[in-house]
Amino acid sequence: MEVHVDSPGGLRRQMRVRVPAEQVAKAVDARLTRLAQRAKLPGFRPGKAPRKVVEQQFGESARMEAISDLVQQTYPQALTQAGVTPAGQPQIDITAEKAGEAFEYVANFEVYPEIQLGALDRLQIEKPVVEVTEADIDRLIGNLRKARREFNAVERAAQNGDAIKIDFLGKVDGEAFAGGEGKDVQFELGEGRFLPDLENGIVGHKAGETFTVDVRFPADYRAENLRDKTAQFEVTLKEVREPKLPEIDAEFLKAHQVDEGAGEAGLRAKCRTALEKERDKAIQNRLKSQALEQLLKANPIELPQALVAQEIPRLRQEAAGRMNMTNVDAAKLGEMLPDALFEQPARQRVALGLLIGEVIKAKDVKLDAARVETVLDGIAADYEQPEQVKAYYRSRPELLQGLRAMVLEDQVVDALVAGVTPSETPMSLEQLLNPQAASA
**pLDDT mean across residues, the chain:** 90
Q: Are 242 and 154 in contact (CB under 8 A)?
A: yes
- Parallel, antiparallel, or unpaired: how do β-strands 126-129 and 423-426 relate? parallel
Instruction: Using DSSP, state whether 429 is helix, strand or coil.
Output: helix
Q: Are 266 and 314 in contact (CB under 8 A)?
A: no
Residues 266 and 409 in one domain: yes
What is the domain extent for residue 103? Answer: 2-110
Final residue before a domain boundary, out of 197, 215, 244: 244
Strand partners, 165: 186, 239
Quote the CA–CA distance of 164 and 182 in Å, as a whole number: 13
Residues 257 and 239 in one domain: no
Helix count (H) and strand count (E) of the chain? 14, 11
Instruction: Using DSSP, state whether 178 is helix, strand or coil.
Output: strand
Q: Is 249 left (phi over 0), alpha (psi -120 to 50) or beta?
A: beta
Residues 265 and 323 in one domain: yes
Residues 92 and 19 in one domain: yes
Measured over the CA atoms of residue 358, residue 363, residue 367 and residue 371, the dihedral's sign is negative
- Residue 215 clears pLDDT 80, i.e. is over it: yes
Residues 264 and 392 in one domain: yes
- Residue 54 clears pLDDT 60, i.e. is over it: no
Q: Are 48 and 36 in contact (CB under 8 A)?
A: no
CB burial of 308-319 (b: ≥16 within 10 Å; e: otherwise) equals beebbeebbeeb
Residues 49 and 185 in one domain: no
Final residue before a domain boundary, out of 184, 210, 244: 244
Residue 382 burial (CB < 10 Å; 0-12/13-18/19+)?
exposed
pLDDT in tens, 105-140: 999 999 999 998 887 777 888 999 999 999 999 999
Measured over the CA atoms of residue 174, residue 179, residue 183 and residue 184, the dihedral's sign is negative
CATH number of residue 408's parent domain: 1.10.3120
Q: Which helix (H) or strand (E) holds 6?
A: strand 2-9
Final residue before a domain boundary, out of 244, 274, 308: 244
Q: What is the mean pLDDT of residues 357-366?
A: 92
Beta-carbon contacts of 42 under 8 Å, excluding residues fewer than 6 positions away, are: none
Residue 331 burial (CB < 10 Å; 0-12/13-18/19+)?
exposed
pLDDT of residue 36: 63
pLDDT tier, 56 (very low <50, low <70, confident <90, very high otherwise): low
CB atoms within 10 A of CB 377: 12
pLDDT of residue 62: 79
Residue 312 amino acid letter: I
pLDDT tier, 45 (very low <50, low <70, confident <90, very high otherwise): low
Residues 334 and 205 in one domain: no
Quote the CA–CA distance of 91 and 151 in Å, as a whole number: 65
Quote the CA–CA distance of 421 and 188 in Å, as a whole number: 48
pLDDT of residue 440: 47
Which ranges constitute the DSSP H helices of 235-262? 250-255
Quote the CA–CA distance of 68 and 50 in Å, as a whole number: 25
Residues 83 and 157 in one domain: no
Helix, strand, coil percentages, rounded to 5, for the chain: 50, 20, 30
Give percent of the chain above pLDDT 70: 93
Quote the CA–CA distance of 399 and 420 in Å, as a whole number: 32
Q: What is the pTM of this model?
A: 0.71
> Which DSSP string corresponds to 354-365?
HHHHHHHHHHT-
Residue 8 included in any domain: yes
Query: CA dihedral defined by 398, 90, 312, 10, rounded to 10 degrees?
Result: 120
pLDDT tier, 101 (very low <50, low <70, confident <90, very high otherwise): confident
Q: Which helix (H) or strand (E) holds 411?
A: helix 397-418
Residues 309 and 412 in one domain: yes
Q: Tell me which DSSP letter residue 413 carries.
A: H
- Parallel, antiparallel, or unpaired: how do β-strands 175-188 and 163-172 relate? antiparallel
| Number of compact structural domains in the chain | 3
- Residue 291 clears pLDDT 80, i.e. is over it: yes
Beta-carbon contacts of 221 under 8 Å, excluding residues fewer than 6 positions away, are: 227
pLDDT tier, 61 (very low <50, low <70, confident <90, very high otherwise): confident
